[in-house]
Amino acid sequence: MNESRRSPVADSSLALLAKGYAWLPDRRRRTTTPLVRARLMGQPAVVLHGPEAVRFFYDERHVQRRTALPGPVLSTLFGHGAVHTLDGPDHRVRKEMFLSLLTGAAAVAGLVDRVTAAWDEAVESWSGRRIVLFDETSRVLTRGVCQWAGIVVEDCGPLARHLVAMVDGFATPGPRHWRARRARARCEAWLGRLVEDVRAGSIAAPTGSVLEGIVEHRDADGRLLDPHTAAVELLNVIRPTVAVCWFVTYAGHALHRRPELRERLIGDDPAYAVAFAHELRRFYPFAPFVGGRAVRDLDWRGEPIRSGTLVLLDIYGQHHDPALWDDPYAFEPRRFLKQPPEGDELIPQGGGHRETGHRCPGEDVTIALLRALGPRLARLEYDVPEQDLRIPLHRMPTRVRSGFVMDGVRAPASVLSPARATP
């Protein structure tokens, strides 16, 4: 019987919480129709998958994001009034601001230089110590991105914890979620005051900085962003940059599980470093899916989708689909040496066109940071003590349980002042 004509399906919200990343792929494997029908939080939903579905999903004639993001996600991860909540001309004008700040060789190289300088300085302090890679990298990234953005922070530790909390608690009920809400409220209040001080002239924003760009940005209506919205968008620059600590920790995990990859990564081979970054983003779980709403009655491969239906795009399932990837559950960077990633196949930061759609404008930054930090991590010498290295798929967003503990870190002399990496 065609699934679209069956009686309404039971709500799957609890199943999603229980299975996490595996829920959508499991549902898809048990479904014979081109899409999966579900119910989430009492709402009808459909799940799409594959490159063609990516193009369908990111077409604003089909799906819009403005009303699809639930309040708890806005109150933790993105912020109310963020670019992610906009569509049409409003989205394009706001998106142009991010593109001007986050793309281009000079902007990316400037951020990479700040972060790698912070990393190299931190490595000297790690010598002979036991460290947790996730925690240390979050502080390194916070220091680097704030310096680059023109935001003065005396102690990056508390801010790093707040930024991590926003990501760590957006997709779960309970204590992690409430920590994320509190962290966002504190950071928005702090950055809102900073915006007001810059506009009042009591603090100067560095010329050409992210801080200056957001403070002076005018939206489609010609108005300056209000201080709260400006604070939200400042966080939408620094928070995703700090979230790269998830992937740097996954890099430690990958090098521990596949130590033979280390020599290739240490070598002066930029193409392999980029391939390693792509494979981190494909293989390891981060965003399970993205969602939007059907703007009108639609048809997907003969299956009707009613206007207002929640439309989900299965990211984790797509990244582990054997129809798209050879041996998808093997970590193998060489797959991206043979063929660069297709834009609608590898979608850890969204799909579609970056300039006109919802693909993350910070994707180049993420790749460049991983390209720079992956080889630096590989050059370090350290012991891996007994610890819990599991990555539980029921936890969203998941992470290496132990944070990847490194004991007796030893940096070869050549690592202490390496040449700056440029994208």
- Quick one: what percent of the chain has pLDDT higher than 70? 93
Span 131-189, pLDDT tens digits: 999 999 999 999 999 999 999 999 999 999 999 999 999 878 889 999 999 999 999 99
> Is the pLDDT confidence value at 409 over 80?
yes
Q: How far is CA 145 from CA 117, 151, 240, 292, in A?
A: 11, 9, 10, 30
**What is the pTM for the complete model shown?**
0.92
Query: Which two structure tokens, joined as six digits, stand for 280?
Result: 């981190």
Considering only the top CATH level, what class is 3-416? mainly alpha
Element (H, E) at 310: strand 310-314
pLDDT at 358: 65
Span 296-337, pLDDT tens digits: 999 999 999 999 999 999 999 999 999 999 999 999 999 999
SS3 state of residue 160: helix
- Of the pLDDT bands very low, low, confident and very high (cuts 50, 70, 90), residue 414 is low
Q: Which residues contact 161 (CB under 8 A, 6 or more apart)?
A: 138, 183
Burial of 30 (0-12, 13-18, 19+ CB in 10 A): exposed
pLDDT at 1: 37
246 and 286 Cβ atoms separated by less than 8 Å: yes
Domain boundaries, the chain: 3-416
pLDDT, mean of residues 33-57:
92
Query: Which two structure tokens, joined as six digits, stand for 239?
Result: 């928070």
* DSSP-derived secondary structure for 227-281: HHHHHHHHHHHHHHHHTHHHHHHHHHHHHHH-TTHHHHHHSS-HHHHHHHHHHHH
pLDDT at 357: 59
> Is the pLDDT confidence value at 208 over 90?
yes
Element (H, E) at 407: strand 405-410
